[in-house]
Structure 1
Amino acid sequence: MTAKGQTKTKQAKTAKGKVAKKAEVKDKQAKTKAPKKRFEVEFYRDWCKGCGICVAFCPEEALAMNEKGEPEIPKPELCIGCAWCEIRCPDFAVRVKEKKEEEVCEA
């Protein structure tokens, strides 16, 4: 327990048993990032009524409405896979799925 006004420094043990500060641990994690996942957004055109809810809820603005009033994904690289478009679609006309590794390599 710390006294009022004091803060604890979070620490972690390194491979050699030394104590590292939180900032050092974050730096090491940043250097070993996992490859970015890619996602695919599918639209079931027969079910879609073109309401635009999926576009409105996309936090990364990866979706847009085309000139026909249908949703599309002009910027697929921006999709983070949150599935807000899928969750919010009242017609269940959107599906978000993770691309397989070989599909990502081809793109």
Structure 2
Amino acid sequence: MESAILALLGTVVGGIVTVLTSYFLQKQRFEQEVKLKQEDNKTEFMAENTAKHFLSHKSFTDRSFETLRNHLGGFDDDELRKILVRAGAIRVTRDDGSEWWRLLSRMDEYIETKRAKH
């Protein structure tokens, strides 16, 4: 009876160790693959980070597309728009037809700013 319990306990412990080892190896592999993908697409990742930086400025909830295009050179207009969307931004067209962008995460701040002005 004792030998059966020890055998079962050894099997359970071995299974747990195998599962944990497999999990951590897969997690490490996934993290390495993400880093490789980021390195392969470094320009796009950095462009997204730069867009977030400009759109996160304390004083400005919105930035004109022209301003963003000037600071994020090297992309055609539609490619830059895709980068802005991946960064979490939305496009707003003003009454004069100009294109402006703001982070979706800053909508509450934008609304509060509008209320304070009125």
Q: Taking structure 2 as the reference length, what is the TM-score of the superposition?
A: 0.27
Structure showing greater radius of gyration is 2
Q: Taking structure 1 as the reference length, what is the TM-score of the superposition?
A: 0.29
Structure number with the higher strand fraction is 1
Structure number with the higher helix fraction is 2
